[in-house]
Structure 1
Amino acid sequence: MSNVLSTPAAPPSDAVAHFAGRLAFETDVSDVHADLEARVPDVVVVDTRGPDAWRQGHIPGAVLLATGEIAASAAELVPAGCTVVTYCWGPGCNGSTVAALEFARLGFPVKEMIGGYEYWVREGYPVRDERGVYRRTVDDLTGPAAGSCGC
């Protein structure tokens, strides 16, 4: 008996709806990095953590807007018509999910960056803190040491 097949796979049409739906709500660190590098104008990356976490390190090009301040400050920091990408610490934290919900309630198109700041750092993308911008070595459990994973 197959463990994988003990619950049958969904019909392909259901799988299309499910996976397309996930992509409508989520993005990954690689795609966010590519858009920031390309300076895509209609995407605003929002760090939903607090000021102490921001100072510890954040994504260059992101804006700081802690979840508790979204309702009061989103309209000032996010231009109309932009899609918001939220991130928090990492997969063990749902702060970016809570923030994405708040942006959606305010009428903003929004996606959550899966993996959060943790996977941004682990995949070797640039980080900014009081020392400036730098990169850490790629964690070979989360990304290839050189180049793209090809997915």
Structure 2
Amino acid sequence: MTSTAAHPVLGTAPAPPAAAAAYFSASLAFHADVSDVAAAFAAGGDPGFVLLDTRSTASWDQGHVPGALHLPTALIAEQAARLLDPAVPVVTYCWGPGCNGATRAALALARLGYQVKEMLGGFEYWAREGFPYETWEGAAHTGPDPLTAPAGGDCGC
């Protein structure tokens, strides 16, 4: 039998179930994924949150989620009170998983008293999962990338 120290997966023991449940529950309180955001928008009506694109105007023009509000991170302190209702949760997004702009925006909003979550994957995964988006030229859409989304639709998770 090989010791667990030889295997990085179990080199540090898993957390006890109660601690794991608390951690993963907390994670869901801070994050939403693009599929869940898309499903909330597709259901029609008020999704119960504002989706906030926190990138520059040039990035917004290049592509953004339909129905999102544009407020670059640098302008949050100056414009959030005018654009956002403090009673409505905000879901932030930026470019993608390699960018922490949505995290910085979420922090700025939380410091101003807003309830906030971050959309995991950002605009990159919105587009890669095949959801429609808008550019300065109008509506755009690509099919799902088979490395990020099931070709047949629902991933079952």
TM category, shorter: over 0.9
- Residue in structure 2 matched with residue 25 of structure 1 by the alignment: 30
**Partner Cα distance (2:151, 2:64) in 1:** 21
Question: Is 2:35 the partner of 1:12?
Answer: no
Q: In the TM superposition, what is the alpha-carbon distance from 1:133 to its structure 2 partner? A: 1.5
Structure 1 unaligned segments of length 5 or more: list them. none
- Residue in structure 1 matched with residue 120 of structure 2 by the alignment: 114
Of 71, 82, 87, the match for 1:81: 87
**Partner Cα distance (2:86, 2:20) in 1:** 33
Query: Which portions of structure 1, spanning 4 or more consecutive aligned residues, are displaced by more than 3 angstroms?
Result: none
Could you state the TM-score of these two structures normalised by the residue count of structure 1? Answer: 0.96
Bigger drift between 47-56 and 2-11 goes to 2-11
Question: Is 2:96 the partner of 1:90?
Answer: yes
Equivalent residues of 1:42, 1:81 under 8 A apart: no
- Residue in structure 1 matched with residue 52 of structure 2 by the alignment: 46
Of 35, 39, 43, the match for 1:34: 39
Bigger drift between 49-58 and 1-10 goes to 1-10
**Partner Cα distance (2:86, 2:113) in 1:** 10
Report the identity percentage: 54
Equivalent residues of 2:96, 2:121 under 8 A apart: yes
Query: Based on CA coordinates, which of the two structures has the bigger radius of gyration?
Result: 2
- RMSD over aligned CA atoms reads 1.1
Q: In the TM superposition, what is the alpha-carbon distance from 1:130 to its structure 2 partner? A: 2.3
Q: In the TM superposition, what is the alpha-carbon distance from 1:34 to its structure 2 partner? A: 1.1
Q: In the TM superposition, what is the alpha-carbon distance from 1:134 to its structure 2 partner? A: 2.2
Equivalent residues of 1:48, 1:65 under 8 A apart: yes
The residue type paired with residue 58 of structure 1 is: H
**Partner Cα distance (2:148, 2:47) in 1:** 28
Could you state the TM-score of these two structures normalised by the residue count of structure 2? Answer: 0.92
- Aligned ranges for residues 55-74 of structure 1 at < 5 Å? 55-74=61-80
